[in-house]
């Protein structure tokens, strides 16, 4: 009788944790919540501002402009036949997506502590919604990029897309997952040790400089061969270089690099899921 009873429990909440215990079925059941969170994030960010969603565009445009002035006009970094502004805009749009994913997901537990301490839903919904809502922002920024692309094209600049562009979505998903994985690891640790929050802020900035955002990968190999490994072991550098190759046919795609990036992403994502899962059960006691 007792044995029979044990089988019909819908679920059990036990203090004993399995190391790998992903409940994707439950996440699927909460898909409506995921959609609503994405909608909330996108709709509410710039409410009661005059420029509204235009703010999504202003930030990358001005950053690209600044980079062009400093790195290309002052520091004379060569971008080949591609207009430097377009070169920078491509790098920054792609980098921003990664950066936003990482920063927002790494704040998951702290910023949602209010909700998390009162009601249960699969915690993974929160970082997932961040990655998706940022994807929408990225989409908007990409439209602007396309606008400038057409502008430069008609001005006679030698820009051309590449057939490998069909893999562009894969590249973006890869990057989103990398940001998600890293963010989940950091968010789990931040709940207890706030030191990481400060580390992250300038860590992201340092990472940008080693991610080939404002210079071609080949340039580092050429000019700073002793430190090129810093960039070569950075999975983001390959993503950005590949994205520029697809969009602007500049630089080159390193198959080894992309395989390396895939490997790092999957490892980080898996680790992130494990750590996140372990943390979500009791973080409310330490946050």
Nearest approach, Cβ of residue 120 and another protein (Å): 4
Nearest approach, Cβ of residue 14 and another protein (Å): 4
Residue closer to another protein, measured from CB, 116 or 145: 116
Can you give the binding site for another protein, defined by CB under 8 A? 6, 8-17, 29-30, 32-33, 35-37, 40, 43-44, 47-48, 114-121, 192-193, 281-282, 284-286
Residue closer to another protein, measured from CB, 169 or 285: 285
Nearest approach, Cβ of residue 109 and another protein (Å): 12
Nearest approach, Cβ of residue 117 and another protein (Å): 6
Residue closer to another protein, measured from CB, 45 or 144: 45
Residue closer to another protein, measured from CB, 80 or 192: 192
What whole-number distance in Å separates Cα of residue 12 and Cα of residue 6?
A: 10
CA distances from 154 to 30, 80, 103, 126, 149 (A): 47, 18, 37, 43, 9
Residue closer to another protein, measured from CB, 25 or 285: 285
Residue closer to another protein, measured from CB, 34 or 131: 34
Nearest approach, Cβ of residue 96 and another protein (Å): 23
Helix (H) or strand (E) holding 171: helix 168-190
CA distances from 285 to 22, 88, 165, 281 (A): 22, 44, 47, 9
Tokens representing residue 187 in the block? 């968010």
Nearest approach, Cβ of residue 282 and another protein (Å): 5
What whole-number distance in Å separates Cα of residue 5 and Cα of residue 100?
A: 48
Residue closer to another protein, measured from CB, 41 or 262: 41
Distance of CA 212 to the CA centre of its chain: 16
User: Could you say which DSSP state residue 52 is in?
Assistant: G
Q: Which residue from 86, 102, 53 is spatially nearest to 208, judged by alpha carbons?
A: 102
**Does residue 131 contact residue 105 with C-beta atoms inside 8 Å?**
yes
How many Cα atoms sit within 13 Å of 223 on the Cβ side?
9
Nearest approach, Cβ of residue 43 and another protein (Å): 7
Helices within 191-254 (DSSP H only):
195-209, 217-223, 228-232, 235-248
| Helix, coil or strand: residue 122 | coil
């Amino acid at each position: 009788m007792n044995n029979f009873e044990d089988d019909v429990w819908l679920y059990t909440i036990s203090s004993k944790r399995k190391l790998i215990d992903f409940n994707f079925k439950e996440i699927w059941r909460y898909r409506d919540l995921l959609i609503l969170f994405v909608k909330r994030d996108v709709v509410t960010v710039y409410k009661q501002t005059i420029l509204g969603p235009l703010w999504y565009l202003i930030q990358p445009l001005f950053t690209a402009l600044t980079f062009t002035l400093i790195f290309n006009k002052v520091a004379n970094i060569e971008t080949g036949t591609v207009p430097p502004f377009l070169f920078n805009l491509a790098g920054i749009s792609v980098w921003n997506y990664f950066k936003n994913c990482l920063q927002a997901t790494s704040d998951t537990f702290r910023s949602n502590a209010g909700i998390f301490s009162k009601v249960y839903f699969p915690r993974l919904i929160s970082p997932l919604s961040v990655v998706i809502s940022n994807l929408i922002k990225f989409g908007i920024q990409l439209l602007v990029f396309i606008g400038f692309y057409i502008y430069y094209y008609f001005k006679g600049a030698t820009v051309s897309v590449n057939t490998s562009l069909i893999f562009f979505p894969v590249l973006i998903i890869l990057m989103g997952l990398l940001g998600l994985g890293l963010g989940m690891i950091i968010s789990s640790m931040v709940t207890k040790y706030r030191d990481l929050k400060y580390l992250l802020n300038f860590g992201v900035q340092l990472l940008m400089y080693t991610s080939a955002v404002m210079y071609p990968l080949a340039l580092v190999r050429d000019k700073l061969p002793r430190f090129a490994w810093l960039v070569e072991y950075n999975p983001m550098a390959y993503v950005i270089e590949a994205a520029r190759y697809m969009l602007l046919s500049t630089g080159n795609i390193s198959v080894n690099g992309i395989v390396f990036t895939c490997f790092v992403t999957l490892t980080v994502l898996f680790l992130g899921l494990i750590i996140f899962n372990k943390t979500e059960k009791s973080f409310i006691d330490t946050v």
